[in-house]
């Protein structure tokens, strides 16, 4: 029980009380717990039954566990998992999986765990625009992150180098805009059906998808597809370079055709998205005149609201003075941003993705084979050792919606690159989002993290063996 990541709120190990799972062990389920019970039984390759030693229950959980937490108790005679919701049970199952040895007899450490999250939003972002990743790649990523109690997958679906989601009213977005990527490869896109399936797959792992359409900048793929979105009516050529030069493209904010486009795209996106949030980008708009930016963002936030959703934008969105309920996603390297602090004081919840702490596309060290370094080298300790509750001046813990780790894909060509950049850093960031501040401690964390390497290997995750982690013990 002392190897869990993220660290639980309370753990009371009782080593003499361990439980041995055998082929005869049954998962006891009722009608209301059958979905999670089936998931657990499948994971452990056990059968379910009306009676059994491993029980799941939606009654009698400690009220402290809230909507996402759980209570797990392991004794010599069985394992009992209690929660108030299916999501709570799912999170408890992830803990239970970590209590099982990777191989050998399936002895589960005895004791009690009481657990619930620190922040509501514990996210990972995958950029499928710069390099396209297939539905299978994304499913695999979902399975990887769900184990660490990450509950949001933000998909960066469009950028200068590619448009990755079918929009039925605007087919050239994917026919033309989806047909390439960084380096000039063939790119790709998700049909609406594939996208719905992905959203449903994530939901089965209790993960909400937040789709991002990056507007009005980062839009070269759209402009290439539809010249009427530009101010001069001339379609620019496709952009396939790695492009640290960002912010050069913009939708024409003075034309009504732009707003018809935005309305159609966000309308279709809202219909595909069960979650509350649509991400509208709004970052790095150096090619958009300020007045046009403010007008565009206000209208676009309004469109999102008319479709019953709330807008998230990179924190530049605050320049447009968006209404309460709009979530700014902070991504700078500074720990002092007066505009973000002022928004927090006005009641906005802030999503934290500080580039110098959680950008998973940064190199670990100067020797890393891939990645940027503009926000610094980020080894495991750099991403772990900071406090989201006091990181930004004037943004107290209660104003923090959560923590999200972006994985930009300019340098990521294969799924093994996702593995390399996300592991072991993403579990460290997941712990910042879930675990209470008083469990935080580098020495204990690195010891716990080290024990996860055999799990990753068993799952085929090609992680980076950082020299900061004592892997051998």
Question: Does residue number 404 form part of the binding site for ligand TNX (CB under 6 A)?
Answer: no
Q: Which is nearer to ligand TNX, 70 or 314 (CB)?
A: 314
Q: How far apart are CA 421 and CA 425, in angstroms?
A: 7
287: exposed, middle or buried (Cβ count in 10 Å: 0-12, 13-18, 19+)? middle
Q: Which is nearer to ligand TNX, 48 or 250 (CB)?
A: 250
Q: How far apart are CA 462 and CA 420, in angstroms?
A: 6
* Nearest approach, Cβ of residue 177 and ligand TNX (Å): 16
* Nearest approach, Cβ of residue 125 and ligand TNX (Å): 9
Query: 86, 194, 263, 284: which is the annotated catalytic residue?
Result: 284
Which of 115, 283, 337, 379 touches ligand TNX by CB under 6 A?
283
Contact letters (x/-) for ligand TNX, 311-340, by CB under 6 A?
A: ---x----------------x---------
Question: Does residue number 364 form part of the binding site for ligand TNX (CB under 6 A)?
Answer: no
Q: Which residues of 394-407 are buried (b: 16+ CB within 10 A; e: fewer)?
A: ebeeebbbbbbbbb
Subset of 424-453 contacting ligand TNX (CB under 6 A): none
The number of residues that bind ligand TNX (CB under 6 A) is: 10
* Nearest approach, Cβ of residue 127 and ligand TNX (Å): 6
- Is 284 among the catalytic positions? yes
Which of 201, 248, 259, 372 touches ligand TNX by CB under 6 A?
372
Q: How far apart are CA 372 and CA 194, in angstroms?
A: 31
* Nearest approach, Cβ of residue 283 and ligand TNX (Å): 4
Q: Which is nearer to ligand TNX, 281 or 424 (CB)?
A: 281
Subset of 240-259 contacting ligand TNX (CB under 6 A): 246
Question: Does residue number 456 form part of the binding site for ligand TNX (CB under 6 A)?
Answer: no
Query: In the structure encoding, which two tokens stand for residue 361, read together?
Result: 């596309």
Task: Compute the chain's Rg from CA coordinates.
Answer: 23
* Nearest approach, Cβ of residue 129 and ligand TNX (Å): 9
DSSP one-letter string for 67-85:
TT-EEEEEETTEEEEE-SS
Query: In the structure encoding, which two tokens stand for residue 370, read together?
Result: 């891939």
- Is residue 156 within 8 A of residue 122, CB to CB? The reply is no
Q: Which is nearer to ligand TNX, 71 or 420 (CB)?
A: 420
In total, the chain counts a number of residues equal to 473
Query: In the structure encoding, which two tokens stand for residue 347, read together?
Result: 């009641």
Q: Which is nearer to ligand TNX, 92 or 238 (CB)?
A: 238
Cα dihedral 425/427/431/434 (nearest 10):
130
Question: Does residue number 239 form part of the binding site for ligand TNX (CB under 6 A)?
Answer: no
DSSP one-letter string for 72-135:
EEEETTEEEEE-SSHHHHHHHHHHHHHHS-SSSSEEEPPEEEEE--S-SEEEEEEE-SSS---H
Which of 284, 335, 413, 462 touches ligand TNX by CB under 6 A?
284
Cα dihedral 207/275/29/77 (nearest 10):
40
- Residue (of 127, 137, 207, 150) closest to 428 by Cα position: 150
Question: Does residue number 413 form part of the binding site for ligand TNX (CB under 6 A)?
Answer: no
User: Looking at the annotation, which residues are catalytic?
Assistant: 284
Binding site for ligand TNX (CB under 6 A): 246, 283-284, 314, 331, 359, 361, 372, 408, 410
């Amino acid at each position: 029980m002392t190897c869990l990541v993220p660290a639980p709120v309370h753990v009371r190990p009782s080593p003499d009380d361990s439980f041995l799972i055998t082929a005869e062990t049954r998962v006891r389920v009722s009608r209301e717990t059958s979905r999670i019970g089936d998931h657990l039984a499948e994971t452990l390759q056990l059968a379910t039954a009306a009676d059994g030693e491993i029980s799941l229950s939606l009654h009698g959980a400690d009220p402290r566990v809230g909507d996402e937490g759980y209570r797990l108790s392991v004794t010599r005679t069985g394992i009992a998992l209690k929660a108030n919701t299916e999501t709570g049970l799912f999170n408890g199952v992830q803990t239970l999986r970590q209590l099982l040895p990777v191989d050998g007899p399936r002895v589960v450490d005895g004791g009690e765990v009481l657990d619930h999250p620190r922040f509501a939003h514990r996210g990972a972002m995958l950029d499928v625009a710069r390099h396209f990743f297939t539905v299978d790649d994304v499913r695999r990523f979902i399975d990887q992150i769900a184990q660490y109690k990450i509950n949001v997958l933000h998909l960066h679906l469009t950028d200068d180098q590619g448009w990755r989601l079918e929009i039925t009213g605007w087919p050239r977005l994917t026919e033309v805009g989806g047909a390439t990527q960084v380096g000039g490869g063939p790119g790709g896109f998700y049909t609406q059906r594939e996208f719905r399936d992905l959203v449903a797959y994530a939901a089965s792992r209790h993960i909400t998808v937040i789709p991002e359409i990056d507007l009005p900048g980062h839009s070269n793929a759209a402009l290439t597809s539809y010249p009427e979105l530009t101010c001069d009516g001339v379609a620019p050529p496709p952009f396939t370079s790695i492009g640290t030069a960002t912010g050069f493209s913009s939708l024409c904010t003075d034309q009504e055709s732009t707003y018809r486009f935005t309305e159609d795209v966000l309308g279709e996106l809202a219909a595909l998205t069960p979650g509350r949030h649509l991400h509208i980008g709004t970052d790095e708009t150096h090619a958009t005149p300020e007045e046009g930016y403010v007008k565009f963002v206000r209208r676009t936030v309004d469109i999102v609201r008319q479709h019953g959703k709330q807008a998230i934008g990179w924190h530049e969105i605050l320049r447009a003075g968006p209404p309460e309920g709009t979530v700014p996603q902070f991504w700078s390297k500074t720990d002092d941003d007066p505009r973000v602090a002022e928004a927090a004081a006005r009641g906005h919840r802030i999503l934290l993705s500080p580039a110098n702490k959680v950008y998973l596309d940064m190199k670990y060290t100067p020797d890393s084979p891939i990645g940027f370094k503009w926000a610094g080298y980020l080894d495991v300790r750099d991403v772990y050792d900071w406090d989201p509750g006091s990181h930004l001046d004037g943004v107290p813990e209660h104003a923090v919606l959560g923590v999200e780790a972006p994985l930009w894909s300019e340098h990521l060509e294969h799924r093994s690159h996702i593995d390399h950049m996300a592991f072991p850093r993403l579990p460290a960031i997941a712990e910042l989002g879930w675990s209470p501040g008083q469990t935080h401690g580098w020495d204990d964390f690195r010891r716990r993290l080290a024990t996860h390497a055999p799990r990753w290997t068993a799952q085929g995750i090609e992680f980076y063996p950082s020299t900061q982690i004592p892997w051998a013990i």
